[in-house]
Structure 1
Amino acid sequence: MSAPHAPLRLPANQPPQFYRGGDAIAELRGLSASASDFGPEDWVGSITTMYGQDTNGLTKLDDGRWLRDAVRADPTGWLGAKHVEAFSDSTGLLVKLLDAGQRLPVHFHPTDAFARKHFDSHFGKTEAWIVVGTYGDDPRVYPGFRETLSRKTIDEWVREQDTPSMLDALNSVPVTAGDTVYIPAGLPHAIGEGVFVVELQQPTDFSLTIEWRDFLDSPEKGHLGIGFDTALETLDTSGWDPDRLETIIRRTAGAEGSTVDLLADGSGEFFRADQLRPAGPLALDPSFAVLVVMDGAGTLRTEHGDELTLSRGETLVVPFAAGATELSGDVTIIRCRPPAPERRT
């Protein structure tokens, strides 16, 4: 029997979404199903519900408890004392597997300050994408406006639902596995068809969708009830030229080493992600973490004597109280963690 805070394998957790996708998730997990049977997002180690819902989105543990409730019952054991001091009983993190079976709409997310004011939340929704696979003719992403735009222009596009103008105004960046894109709160963006990512986010579901027609039932779902006039106050309308864009994009496909930091500078205030590929036994410090096994097979051992075999497609949550761990084997893992407590004030 495992210790109370041993690492735990997690089942797929795919709440219903408004867009198509999911076959890449099924393939990674070794399941046979169509995209319509699964879903484009798998919320991994989630204490977050879909916006306005009671439980959809939450991770359920094998013992029947929501992970959210387990963490609240023992935040220090799950998260560590320093994390609890900084973030209370929130993990500070939401991880998703996201398989875009169609292009996502143009949208953006609120900053922390905006979320506190309008959504009574300590967290906004900064996010990052780790591209782990692509398919189709032209996989690409759309981060930020190419040139600075006036609020009047954007108001007109939203009112008219002028999708061609919205898309044309965004940067269009082809991607392949190993590319990572950091998306600060407020940055307009979309993910194109055929892009499969491990996505890190702050633990909220606040999406302000300016391209709502053909995706959402009503404009109210686009602005989450606060009105587009208010929502657009947190939109980054500044231009992101190629030099500026390079500050949020990394190309890590050829990176070597047992531990590779995957995300752009500046993202550490919100979350951390690294690729683990041990050349021999790899020691890992105590930390709350979500693990996604991308390839191969290996073993995770804890200082308390727990030992888990790992294989491609598995997802796990590791509590802080698991202590120091050791990873070995011919395995590739993406490790997702909240920010170090000292990185947030």
Structure 2
Amino acid sequence: MKIPTPLLLGPNQPLDRPYRGGAGIARFRGTTQPSPFTPEDFVASTTEVFAGGGVGLTVLPDGRTLRDAVAADPEAFLGAAHVARFGTRTMLLVKLLDTAERLFVHYHPDDAFAASHLGSPLGKTEAWAVIDAEPAAYAALGFQRPVSETEVHAWWDGQDADAMLAAMNRVPLAAGDTLLVPAGLAHAIGPGVTLVELQQPTDLSVLLERRTLSERDALLGLDLGVAIDGLTREVTPEDRIQSLRGGRGTETLFPADADPYFSAERIRVSGTRELEPSFSVLIVLDGTGTLETAKQSISLSRGATVLTAHGDGPLALSGELDLIRCRPPH
């Protein structure tokens, strides 16, 4: 059975994640928060959580996972050029994320580390587009001074999160802000932030701050010495942070450093607009309108998330809309 796309997607929020959040997702979508520990909504996901079990995968109306549907008909979903370059991987994971508490201090491995130590060809560079944020919201990103391996070991042994954060750059966050987070950089998001997250399609996080998690879970089963080999311990200077915060032009959300991993556009429609064919995830930030293809029409409003396939052809938007279009690397 071929899934009719574009497809309006409901929430896909794994239960019992290790930190609290999700109220901001419920407000944005106009839905009910499943539990206090549902801070992530995996949108059009072909990626499961690191523990496996299919958790995180999007299930389609016919009962198949999106991952299986893409594998069965990759050119229809992804286009011939994408398949020639990347195979059947979508090369994209999109999430809605909301924090009711500060996230763990952690980092994501890059492709080389993931291939060498974790059996994955992909690491996890990610980027954020903030939808909503409480006053004084922030992220911590990279180190403001060089950090030795001995110091990281001491942080881990004492689980000294205050010392970790004191060594990091504090980055204010407000609605409309964007930030690219390259693999290797230590980071954390403060409480009261709701955002759209684009990332390479893996669930690989090395937690320097483990709280109630076991050492094995926090370090992805690696020894500490190996686990911190992928951490960028050099200074991340202010000018580098500013470059990671900047988009390009009026619509491209992230700097050129994001291009090998994913792309995103902030699209505002007043009247009509046509978008080129692509596998993509549309997230409607505000307004109302319609998405039309040659075969169907979908009503859009704030909080809607829509999967589009390359085979849908051109996408016609109409109405008064403010949305983000998330796509794989071009």
Fold shared by both chains (TM-score > 0.5): yes
3-state SS in 2 of match to 1:296: strand
What do residues 196-250 of structure 1 show as CA deviations (whole Å, max 9, x unaligned)?
11000100000000111x2x42111111111111011110111112112111013
Select which of 311, 317, 320 maps to 2:307. 317
Aligned length: 329
The residue identity in structure 1 corresponding to 2:327 is R
Could you tell me which residue of structure 2 aligns to residue 300 of structure 1? 291
User: Tell me, which stretches of 5 or more residues in structure 2 are unaligned?
Assistant: none
3-state SS in 2 of match to 1:54: coil
Select which of 252, 259, 262 maps to 1:268. 259
The residue identity in structure 2 corresponding to 1:97 is L
Distance in 2 (alpha carbons) for counterparts of 1:31 and 1:103: 23
Whether contact under 8 Å (1:5, 1:78) holds in the other structure is no
3-state SS in 2 of match to 1:333: strand
Correspondence list, 1:139-218, <5 A: 139-212=137-210, 214=211, 216-218=212-214
Could you tell me which residue of structure 1 aligns to residue 225 of structure 2? 229
Whether contact under 8 Å (2:247, 2:255) holds in the other structure is no
Could you tell me which residue of structure 1 aligns to residue 65 of structure 2? 66
**CA drift at 1:280:** 3.0
Provide the aligned C-alpha RMSD in A.
Answer: 1.7
Distance in 2 (alpha carbons) for counterparts of 1:9 and 1:42: 14
> Percent of aligned pairs with the same residue?
44
The residue identity in structure 1 corresponding to 2:219 is H
Whether contact under 8 Å (1:47, 1:58) holds in the other structure is yes
The residue identity in structure 1 corresponding to 2:288 is A
**CA drift at 1:325:** 1.1
What do residues 14-56 of structure 1 show as CA deviations (whole Å, max 9, x unaligned)?
00211111111111111244752x7110000000011021210
Runs (4+) of structure 1 exceeding 3 A deviation are 2-5, 32-35
Q: Which moved more, 1:271-280 or 1:107-116?
A: 271-280
Whether contact under 8 Å (1:178, 1:251) holds in the other structure is no
Correspondence list, 1:1-345, <5 A: 4-16=3-15, 17-33=17-33, 35-36=35-36, 39-135=38-134, 137-212=135-210, 214=211, 216-250=212-246, 260-302=251-293, 304-340=294-330
Distance in 2 (alpha carbons) for counterparts of 1:181 and 1:21: 20
What do residues 266-313 of structure 1 show as CA deviations (whole Å, max 9, x unaligned)?
1011000111111332111111001111111111112x2321111111
What do residues 49-95 of structure 1 show as CA deviations (whole Å, max 9, x unaligned)?
11021210000111211111100100111001111111111110110
Whether contact under 8 Å (1:248, 1:265) holds in the other structure is no
Distance in 2 (alpha carbons) for counterparts of 1:329 and 1:155: 55
- TM norm structure 2: 0.96
Distance in 2 (alpha carbons) for counterparts of 1:95 and 1:32: 20
1:296 and 1:122, CA in 2 relative to 1: closer, same or farther beyond 3 A?
A: same
Distance in 2 (alpha carbons) for counterparts of 1:9 and 1:295: 16
Distance in 2 (alpha carbons) for counterparts of 1:118 and 1:324: 41
Distance in 2 (alpha carbons) for counterparts of 1:69 and 1:63: 11
Distance in 2 (alpha carbons) for counterparts of 1:3 and 1:41: 28
1:286 and 1:34, CA in 2 relative to 1: closer, same or farther beyond 3 A?
A: closer
Whether contact under 8 Å (1:23, 1:34) holds in the other structure is no
Distance in 1 (alpha carbons) for counterparts of 2:125 and 2:301: 30
The residue identity in structure 2 corresponding to 1:77 is A
Q: Which moved more, 1:58-67 or 1:97-106?
A: 58-67
1:65 and 1:34, CA in 2 relative to 1: closer, same or farther beyond 3 A?
A: closer
Distance in 2 (alpha carbons) for counterparts of 1:5 and 1:148: 52
3-state SS in 2 of match to 1:27: helix
Whether contact under 8 Å (2:159, 2:209) holds in the other structure is yes
Whether contact under 8 Å (1:247, 1:265) holds in the other structure is no
- TM norm structure 1: 0.92
The residue identity in structure 2 corresponding to 1:30 is G
Distance in 1 (alpha carbons) for counterparts of 2:305 and 2:279: 14
Distance in 2 (alpha carbons) for counterparts of 1:21 and 1:52: 20
Distance in 1 (alpha carbons) for counterparts of 2:216 and 2:27: 35
User: Tell me, which stretches of 5 or more residues in structure 1 are unaligned?
Assistant: 341-345
